[in-house]
């Protein structure tokens, strides 16, 4: 496994693979890897011959007062896990390599970024699209893999790729969960033991809502109220949002016609957790 820190070096590596007829996949991460990230790498190998995993805690997607400075970082362990998986390249650049002195170009997707996480995290998605566009130019992938856990992020990146005519296929991969249903996240390690137990309520509530829809409930307001109540029963949990939206436009829907996405964000004292579930009528 190669460890690369410089953009030019990564571009040259990717050019070499492409020239030899190989297909390159990119898996962007912020490190502190868990089995959810590793499943994306396995997914990437099903779509490509060679895989680059980027590890970069992107400062521009964190707002003031968010957890940039105490976001977990463990590059040596991450590299060990990726080496065991047979990853070709880890791209772990310093901040200056991604954001050179005097940079002034942002990439921003409008509309899709206004609701859900975008409402309470102004500028977050602008940071995400700005860094992902840069990573695409650095890695020159044929395909890039993102997790469905970050549903809005995946939708925003798909739109960016389409709008900018990027020659990169965007692949979504399913959410990997703990045995009790909690979506794996680097931020879970910031939960106390007691909060960790309470966090089970997120997936439990989402699953119950999905079952209610199968059983005939179609009213978003009723489903949202029930999810809110179940999460509010957890003393350390504070609901940021519970919304039911159209899977493509992310606009709120009053009733479920065929398919919708139920998305939640919940704040614990030291971790903000998100999760989602697809609601299907049949």
- Which residues lie near ligand AMP (CB under 6 A)? 29-30, 36-37, 39-40, 146-147, 149-150, 173, 175-176, 183-186
Catalytic-labelled residue, pool 34, 37, 124, 137: 37
Nearest-approach distance from CB 229 to ligand AMP, in angstroms: 25
- CB closer to ligand AMP out of 41 and 236: 41
- CB closer to ligand AMP out of 173 and 206: 173
The runs of H, that is alpha helices, within the chain are: 7-19, 35-47, 75-85, 95-98, 117-120, 124-139, 151-163, 193-198, 200-214, 220-232
Give the CA distances from residue 223 to residues 34, 115, 120, 227, in Å, rounded to whole numbers and listed in that order.
31, 19, 22, 6
Active site residue 43: no
- CB closer to ligand AMP out of 143 and 224: 143
Nearest-approach distance from CB 40 to ligand AMP, in angstroms: 5
Nearest-approach distance from CB 69 to ligand AMP, in angstroms: 16
Q: Which of 259, 1, 14 is nearest to 135 (CA)?
A: 14
Q: Which of 148, 282, 269, 123 is nearest to 213 (CA)?
A: 282
82: left (phi over 0), alpha (psi -120 to 50) or beta: alpha
Q: What is the DSSP letter of 88?
A: S
- CB closer to ligand AMP out of 10 and 26: 26
Nearest-approach distance from CB 198 to ligand AMP, in angstroms: 18
Question: What's the token pair of residue 166?
Answer: 């990027």
- CB closer to ligand AMP out of 39 and 198: 39
Q: Which long-range contacts (CB under 8 A, 24 or more apart) does 188-192 make?
A: 188/34, 188/271, 188/273, 189/32, 189/72, 190/67, 190/70, 190/72, 190/268, 190/270, 190/271, 191/268, 191/270, 191/271, 192/236, 192/269
- Max alpha carbon distance in the chain (Å)? 57
Nearest-approach distance from CB 119 to ligand AMP, in angstroms: 19
**Which amino acids are annotated catalytic?**
37
């Amino acid at each position: 496994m190669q460890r690369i820190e410089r953009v030019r070096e990564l571009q040259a590596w990717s050019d070499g693979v492409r020239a030899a007829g190989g297909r390159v996949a990119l898996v962007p991460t912020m490190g502190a890897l868990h089995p959810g990230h590793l499943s994306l790498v396995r997914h990437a190998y099903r779509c490509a011959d060679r895989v680059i995993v980027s590890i970069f805690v992107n400062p521009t997607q964190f707002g003031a007062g968010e957890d940039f400075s105490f976001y977990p970082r463990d590059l040596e362990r991450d590299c060990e896990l990726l080496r065991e998986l047979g990853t070709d390249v880890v791209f772990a650049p310093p901040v200056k390599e991604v954001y050179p002195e005097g940079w002034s170009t942002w990439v921003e997707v409008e509309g899709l970024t206004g609701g859900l996480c975008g409402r309470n995290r102004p500028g977050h998605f602008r940071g995400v699209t700005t860094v992902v566009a840069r990573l695409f130019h650095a890695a020159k992938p044929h395909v890039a893999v993102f997790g469905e856990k970050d549903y809005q992020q995946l939708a925003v990146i798909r739109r960016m790729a389409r709008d900018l005519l990027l020659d990169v296929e965007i692949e979504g991969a399913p959410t990997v969960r703990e045995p009790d249903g909690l979506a794996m996240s680097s931020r879970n390690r910031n939960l106390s033991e007691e909060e960790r137990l309470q966090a089970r309520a997120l997936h439990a509530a989402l699953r119950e809502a999905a079952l209610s829809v199968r059983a005939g409930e179609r009213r978003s307001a009723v489903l949202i109220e029930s999810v809110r109540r179940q999460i509010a029963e957890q003393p350390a949990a504070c609901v940021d949002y519970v919304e039911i939206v159209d899977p493509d436009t992310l606009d709120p829907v009053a009733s479920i016609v065929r398919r919708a996405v139920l998305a939640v964000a919940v704040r614990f004292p030291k971790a903000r957790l998100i999760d989602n579930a697809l609601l299907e009528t049949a």
